[in-house]
Amino acid sequence: GKVVIATHNAGKLVEMRELLAPFGVEAVSAGELNLPEPEETGTMFSENAAIKALAAAEASGLPAFADDSGLCVDALDGAPGLFSARWAGPSKDFSGAMARIASELDKRGATSRRAHFVSALVIAWPDGHTELFEGRVFGDLVEPRGQAGFGYDPMFRPDGFERTFGEISSEEKHGVDWQSGNALSHRARAFVTLASACLRRPG
């Protein structure tokens, strides 16, 4: 079968393609199909993921995957959260967005640096049916380090690691051990639950 990966974010697209690869599913991106980008009007990650997946499934006539994700900082009451992409502005300035998080933490005199990434992954079919899967990864915010990944990766150090997502290879960040179902990133963890429900296991 053929599926659409309903994202216009290049970093996410790479990860979602690699997550789908073992299943032998042919994946085309929303960009390659010139699908319009729907407005993300939801108030939860799950709503925005459904908006994007349904729009792509209806426009293409194919099953579509969408991820809505973000970084939630405890001491900022969960910000930037749903607004993680928007904090970087139209120029996608994530250095600026990371600096803003650091300055908001300073302003509040926050002692906690706890944060987590959330991924809401929705698969939608052209008939309007949807399924939702979620993944999370917890860690600490640090001075940004490393060039790997995208978005807020350089400032996020997952629990159990000395390195940030900016210093961890993409294989380690979103690779999946399909024997055990173990995965590190929020997106890979959401994908493992989706795969066990919707896809035939590889190998």
7-45 CB burial, b ≥16 within 10 A, e <16: bebeebbebbebbbeeeeeebbbbeeeebeebebebeeb
**Cβ distance to ligand ITT smaller for residue 8 or 201:** 8
- Does the protein bind ligand ITT through residue 139 (CB under 6 A)? no
| The one segment of 17-25, 108-116, 144-152, 195-203 that binds ligand ITT by CB under 6 A | 144-152
Segment 6-35, which members bind ligand ITT (CB under 6 A)? Answer: 7-9, 12
- Does the protein bind ligand ITT through residue 157 (CB under 6 A)? no
Segment 159-188, which members bind ligand ITT (CB under 6 A)? Answer: 165, 185, 187
What distance in Å separates the CA atoms of residue 112 and residue 76, rounded to the nearest whole number? 10
What distance in Å separates the CA atoms of residue 68 and residue 118, rounded to the nearest whole number? 8
Known catalytic residue at 153: no
CB-based contacts of 50, cutoff 8 Å, min separation 6? 42, 66, 122, 124, 130, 132
Segment 60-89, which members bind ligand ITT (CB under 6 A)? Answer: 67-71, 84-85
- Looking at the annotation, which residues are catalytic? 68
Binding site for ligand ITT (CB under 6 A): 7-9, 12, 40, 52, 67-71, 84-85, 117, 149-153, 165, 185, 187
